[in-house]
Chain A
Amino acid sequence: MTPNDRKYTRDHEWVMVEGNVAKMGITAHAAEALGDIVYVELPAVGDETVIGESYCVVESVKASSSVFSAVTGTVVEVNEELDAAPEKLNEDAFENFIAAVEFTEINEDELMDAEEYDKFCAEEE
């Protein structure tokens, strides 16, 4: 289930690195925990992100949740589709990124691979 092609944070975000650009999103586990996602407050292209700091807010009817960045850098692309169709994160969280960031810093040691992340989720339950 959890794709092997990317890394994961302890805050249930995924990050997929290609060269110096990191695509980031939230995991299916996070989307399920939030329930029906009704709005994604996207960052803007050009925004700076910092490792461990919020760059996006995801809203359900009765909750809002910050999404934290796995990298430090500059947003180069955002997934505008989520503006009109936030439910895409519920439908397939791994297929729908939130933002792509050209990064200057990434803390690989803090990130988990799919297997480690699944184990982390199981322990959290």
Chain B
Amino acid sequence: MRSYVPNTEKERMEMLADIGMSSMDELFKDIPADLKLDRPLDLPEPMSEMELRDLIRGFVYMNEEGGPLFRGAGAYRHYIPSVIPQLVMRSEFYTAYTPYQAEMSQGMLQSLFEYQTVICRLTGLDAANASVYDGATAAAEAMLMLRDNKRKKKILYSAALNPDVITVMHTYGHCAGLELVEIPVTDKGVSDIEAIRSNMEGAAGYIGANPNYYGNLEPMDEIAEAVHAANGLLVAYVNPITLGVIKRPADYGADIAIGDGQPLGIPLSFGGPYVGFMAATKKLMRNLPGRIAGETRDAEGNRVFVLTLQAREQHIRREMASSNICSNQMLCAIMASMYCCVMGPNGMREVAEQNIAKAHLLADKLTRIEGVKLRWPETPFFNEFVIDVDNAAEISKALENYSITGGLVLKDGGMLWCATETNSVDEFDFVCDIIQDTIDSMGGDE
């Protein structure tokens, strides 16, 4: 039987004798007898490493993945430089708990301080926390920041946020008693600025994405103006991989920037673990939830990093805390930070440029097929875009038969396509051929 308990049966009995007991059962005498489980747990038999490996491989083979991927919608396949998985496997990092004892946790604390600095530089803002669970929970926490800072319960959000993000915001918002007002999408595929203007009265602020769920780049300058004119706060939900080329949240005056750090070197892993990043202006720093690493000195004057501003947090404020977050996603945060440091300013620009180049070429090639149209041809996009085509579901199925994961079929029948640096032009041509064939065969049936 597999066991990670080092002490032998003999040693255990000696230890029991040491504390004046003769059996393990005696240790549990405080538990009422009628509550105790009177049978073994009904679980599968234990396994050796070799058997376990085969079992997990079996699950892996049950998945049909690994082929070309043209799907994003909140989780993206980007190339992950090999130094990242190698370095995060340093067990001094991954087998540590939260760095409560600063003197023996300088590695993690400095890494977090570097991560926070990276997030500040990506967003242009003054302060970042040490991460939250993911982009959706970052948005939920941002709502609470708006509420606390403005002491208003009305919050506007864009209908062009990722639908998962919107659902999570509503789940949290219901509990917090917030009034969430959805701003519709215009016929250009971006948030309706007039609707923002007319709804801002009494609102703490507005949460919108750039690029939005449909891949479209939003007129953030004008949105910021509309939100600030009504004395509200602007929360920009951004895809960090865009920021090597696209304007940073501070450039258009965002007060808070949030998003999911997954595109920065974190694998897809069927939806998690990812990392939610949150940055804010200096004025809003104390409204940030969760852990924050800070710089200070020891008695000899050495630079030391610590968890700071802790009196905001749950373990001190208890029911008065704005957020209950305790564990976050520190290891993923470090991966994101490493990614940005591997890439540097030029790599971040180049990867963004490649995404733009590939996505636009794919869009061009797809729309050359008769019956395929870009839904918002005049709206700029980054690495995702929506096409309208009849029989999207059949196209999706046809691609799957070639182990290709095509654009996500939307509820309205459109397809949300994504291309990153990991996709090649050869793949585009192959995909277009399959789509052409599918359309032709559908036509033939009519």
Find residues 300-335 in chain B having any chain A CB closer than 8 Å to their own CB: 309-312, 316-317, 320
| CA A9 to CA B286, docked complex, whole Å | 29
Contact with B along A8-23 (1 / 0, CB 8 A): 0000000000000000
Is A39 located at the chain interface by the 8 A CB criterion? yes
Q: Kindly list chain B residues whose C-beta atoms are within 8 Å of the C-beta of A64.
A: 311-312, 316-317, 320
- Is A87 close to B, CB under 8 A? no
A63, B316: Cβ atoms under 8 Å? yes
Stretch at the interface among A24-32, A54-62, A107-115, A116-124: A54-62
Are A62 and B320 closer than 8 Å at their CB atoms? no
- Say how far B100's CB is from chain A's closest CB, in angstroms: 11
Least CB distance, B101 to chain A, in whole angstroms: 14
CB atoms of B316 and A62 under 8 A apart: yes
A38 at the interface (CB under 8 A from B): yes
CB distance from A83 to the nearest CB of B (A): 11
Q: Which residue of A lies closest to B309 (CB)?
A: A39
Closest to B317 in A: A64
Judge if A104 is at the interface, Cβ distance under 8 Å: no
Confirm or deny: A79 has a beta carbon within 8 angstroms of a beta carbon on chain B: no
User: Chain A contacts of B286 at CB under 8 A?
Assistant: 39, 41
- A57: chain B residues within 8 A (beta carbon): 320
User: For this complex, into which size category does the number of interface residues on chain A fall?
Assistant: 10 to 19
- Given A39-B286, A61-B310, A66 and B316 touching (CB < 8 A)? no
Contacts of A66 in B (CB 8 A): 320
Q: Could you tell me the distance between the alpha carbons of A62 and B33 in the complex, rounded to whole angstroms?
A: 41
For chain A, what secondary structure do more than half of its interface residues adopt (helix, strand, loop), or is it mixed? strand
Determine the residue in chain B with the shortest Cβ distance to A47.
B151
CA distance A41 to B286 in the complex (A): 10
Q: Mark A36-68, 1 if CB is under 8 A from B, else 0.
A: 001101000000000000000101111110100
Q: Are A60 and B311 closer than 8 Å at their CB atoms?
A: yes
Nearest opposing residue in chain A for B311, CB measure: A59
A39 engages B320 (CB within 8 Å)? no
CA distance A63 to B317 in the complex (A): 8
B320 contacts A38, C-beta separation under 8 Å: no
Do B320 and A61 have beta carbons less than 8 Å apart?
no
Which residue among A38, A41, A64, A66 has the maximum number of chain B CB atoms within 10 Å of its CB? A64
Interchain nearest-CB distance for B288 vs A (Å)? 14
**A59→B309 CA distance, assembly (Å):** 9
**Complex Cα gap A64–B313 (Å):** 10
Q: Which residues of B contact A61 (CB under 8 A)?
A: 310-311
Cβ–Cβ < 8 Å partners of A39 in chain B: 286, 309, 311
Question: How many angstroms between the C-alpha atoms of A114 and B317 in the bound complex?
Answer: 31
C-alpha spacing A61/B307, complex, angstroms: 10
The residue on A at minimum CB distance from B306 is A61
Q: Which of B286, B310, B311, B316 neighbours the largest number of chain A CB atoms within 10 Å of its CB?
A: B311
Q: CA of A38 to CA of B311 in the docked complex: distance in angstroms?
A: 9
Closest to A60 in B: B311
Bound CA–CA A5/B320 (angstroms): 33
Chain A contacts for B309, CB-based, 8 A: 39
Using Cβ atoms and an 8 Å threshold, which residues of chain B touch A62? 310-311, 316
Once bound together, how far apart are the Cα atoms of A119 and B320, in whole Å?
Answer: 31
A-side contacts of B320, CB under 8 Å: 57, 64, 66
CA distance A66 to B316 in the complex (A): 12
Look across to chain B and name the residue whose beta carbon is closest to the beta carbon of A37: B311
A38-B309 Cα distance, complex, nearest whole Å: 9
- Give 20 new A-B contacts, CB below 8 A, not counting A59-B312, A64-B316: A38-B311, A39-B286, A39-B309, A39-B311, A41-B286, A57-B320, A59-B311, A60-B311, A61-B310, A61-B311, A62-B310, A62-B311, A62-B316, A63-B311, A63-B316, A64-B311, A64-B312, A64-B317, A64-B320, A66-B320
Task: Pick 7 A–B contacts, CB within 8 A, sort by A.
Answer: A38-B311, A59-B311, A59-B312, A62-B316, A64-B312, A64-B316, A64-B320
A residues sitting closer than 8 Å to B (CB atoms) are: 38-39, 41, 57, 59-64, 66
Residues of B within 8 A of A (CB): 286, 309-312, 316-317, 320
